[in-house]
């Protein structure tokens, strides 16, 4: 009979130790007269189980100490804005909806007075301006710059060379206004008589504007088709609020007939009636 090399237990015939299951073949054979210290077999058999039990006890004790140190876990706060768990500091503050007219609520701008002519104070941007000419009546110099559009005199004009269809005149207003009416004189509404008595009708001799679009800040576009008339022709703007107006020239007539015809597109006046508004 031999002894197990792992636990020291006596092992009868067989391939494995009956006490610890170690392979008997791996153990050195016990020679005759070999002796085993008293009690070593049972001590070696019990020792692994004792060590294992102590390890389990220490592990359990360590876990308990860890729990005691950290304290009880706090319940997770529910984030009502995200529908899931989250920290209380992550939750968005809730508040009652604002009352009507309270700060932060948008209200429509309100006109503060009656409509007045606001084009006269506008900053105006125009396409290329035609060069100055000589007045046939008295030989004075006549200019055609953008200020002629808002000077209140239909016998002056802004004009540019050729067909100005597709070009724009931009009027930047001094402040936002509720625009009630827009209008223009669609040609050079002037007649002049030279010293020999010949009269020149510059309205019919220059090109006339036949259609325009008035474009406001919010994209509102008002089309206006125009007659062959030297009078101011107006259009209802509906009180739309804007800070600028783009006057887009859509269609232009041909020049007049005869040797005195002028290949220029002319506008004598632009009118914008509006009332200043309070902030919305």
The DSSP line for 258-280 is: STT---EEEE-EEEEEEEEB---
Q: Could you give the percent of the chain with pLDDT greater than 70? A: 62
Going by C-beta distance under 8 Å and a sequence separation of 6 or more, which residues neighbour residue 189?
154, 155, 157, 202, 203, 230, 268
At 174, phi and psi to the nearest 5? -70, -25
Q: For residue range 187-217, what is the model confidence (pLDDT) as tens digits?
A: 999 999 999 999 999 999 999 999 999 999 9
At 79, phi and psi to the nearest 5? -85, 105
pLDDT band (50, 70, 90) for residue 95: very low
Instruction: Read off the pLDDT of each residue in 96-122 and give the average, rounded to a whole number.
Output: 70
Q: Which helix (H) or strand (E) holds 70?
A: helix 40-70
Query: Does residue 213 contact residue 152 with C-beta atoms inside 8 Å?
Result: no
Query: Does residue 207 contact residue 187 with C-beta atoms inside 8 Å?
Result: yes
Distance (Å, whole) CA 27 – CA 21: 12
- Per-residue pLDDT, 189: 98
Q: What domains appear along the chain, each with residue ranges and CATH number?
A: 2-70 (no CATH), 116-276 (2.60.120.260)
104 has pLDDT over 90: no
Pairing of strands 264-267, 233-252: unpaired
219 has pLDDT over 70: yes
222 has pLDDT over 70: yes
pLDDT band (50, 70, 90) for residue 231: very high
Q: Which two tokens stand for residue 138?
A: 């008295």
Q: For residue range 128-139, what is the model confidence (pLDDT) as tens digits?
A: 999 999 999 999
Size of the chain, expressed as the number of residues it contains: 280
Distance (Å, whole) CA 248 – CA 43: 109
Q: Which two tokens stand for residue 79?
A: 């984030």
- Per-residue pLDDT, 76: 42
Q: For residue range 235-254, what is the model confidence (pLDDT) as tens digits?
A: 999 999 999 999 999 999 99
- Per-residue pLDDT, 112: 78
| pTM for the full predicted model | 0.62
């Amino acid at each position: 009979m031999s002894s197990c090399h792992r636990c020291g237990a006596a092992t009868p015939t067989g391939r494995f130790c009956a006490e610890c299951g170690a392979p008997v073949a791996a153990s050195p054979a016990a020679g005759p007269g070999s002796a085993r210290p008293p009690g070593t077999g049972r001590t070696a058999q019990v020792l692994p189980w004792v060590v294992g039990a102590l390890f389990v006890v220490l592990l359990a004790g360590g876990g308990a100490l860890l729990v005691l140190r950290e304290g009880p876990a706090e319940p997770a706060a529910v984030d009502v804005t995200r529908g899931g768990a989250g920290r209380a500091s992550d939750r968005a503050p809730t508040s009652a909806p604002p009352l009507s007219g309270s700060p932060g609520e948008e209200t429509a701008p309100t006109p503060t007075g009656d409509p007045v002519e606001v084009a006269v104070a506008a900053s105006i941007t125009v396409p290329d301006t035609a060069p100055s000419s000589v007045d046939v009546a008295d030989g004075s110099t006549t200019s055609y710059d953008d200020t002629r559009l808002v000077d209140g005199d239909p016998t002056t004009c802004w004009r540019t060379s050729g067909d100005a269809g597709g070009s724009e005149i931009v009027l930047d207003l001094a402040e936002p206004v509720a625009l009630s009416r827009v209008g223009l004189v669609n040609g050079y509404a002037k007649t002049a008589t030279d010293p020999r008595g010949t009269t020149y009708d510059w309205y019919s001799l220059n090109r006339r504007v036949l259609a325009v679009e008035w474009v406001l800040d919010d994209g509102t576009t008002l089309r206006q088709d125009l007659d062959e008339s030297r009078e101011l022709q107006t259009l209802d703007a509906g009180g739309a609020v804007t800070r600028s107006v783009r006057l887009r020239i859509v269609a232009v007539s041909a020049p007049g007939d005869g040797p005195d015809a002028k290949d220029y597109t002319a506008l004598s006046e632009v009118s914008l009636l509006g009332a200043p508004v309070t902030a919305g």
